[in-house]
Amino acid sequence: MRRTLLFGSLTLIAFTLGADWRTGNSSPAQEKSGPLLSHDVYFSLKDNSPAAKKKLVAACKKYLSGHDGEVFFAAGVLVESLKRKVNDLEFDVALHIVFKDLAAQEKYQVAKRHQQFIDENKQNWKKVRVFDSFVER
């Protein structure tokens, strides 16, 4: 019984402080008022060799991660083994960044590191598709 009371008390404290300690998620009261901005970019490469894909992923990590207002960052290559009818297979490298808001994404767009990434890598881009959306947690 003492263990149950302790567990119940800790749970109440966690929710009172605004966090669900079991999942690491914030409570609605703790989250910011506006939606997040998801910036997803899909690169098709002229040279889409494994080495070229690896080079672009490394450049994404070097220049595009760690910007102010960035909540999540990931970059990687197409999973070639997934070939369902719904899978879009017309890209080589994917970039996913979630920003805390539109202002953070706009700041990122003009950042020196972002511009340097474009300048150093655009010569190998066959096609670039950008999907920006507001997302909720």
Q: Tell me, what's the pLDDT at 31?
A: 53
Q: What is the pTM of this model?
A: 0.76
pLDDT at 102: 97
Contact between 14 and 21 (Cβ < 8 Å): yes
Q: Are strands 70-77 and 93-99 parallel, antiparallel or unpaired?
A: antiparallel
CB 96, CB 74: distance < 8 Å = yes
| pLDDT for position 137 | 86
User: What pLDDT sits at residue 81?
Assistant: 96
pLDDT digits (tens, 9 = 90+) for 9-63: 433 333 333 333 333 444 444 355 689 999 999 999 999 999 999 999 999 999 9
**What is the pLDDT at residue 30?**
38
| Pairing relationship of beta strands 93-99 and 25-26 according to DSSP bridges | unpaired
pLDDT value of position 32? 56
| Banded pLDDT at 136 (limits 50, 70, 90) | very high
CB–CB of 134/43 below 8 Å? no
- Taking 70 as the threshold, does the pLDDT of residue 93 lie above it? yes
**Range of lowest pLDDT (5-19, 32-46, 74-88, 108-122):** 5-19
Q: Which helix (H) or strand (E) holds 88?
A: none
- Indicate the SS3 state at residue 103: helix
Contacts of 93 (CB under 8 A, 6+ apart): 42, 43, 45, 53, 56, 57, 60, 75, 76, 77, 78
Contact 84, 5 (CB under 8 A): no
Mean pLDDT of the 56-83 span: 97
Residue 90 has what pLDDT? 97
Strands (E), 8-105: 19-20, 25-26, 36-45, 70-77, 93-99
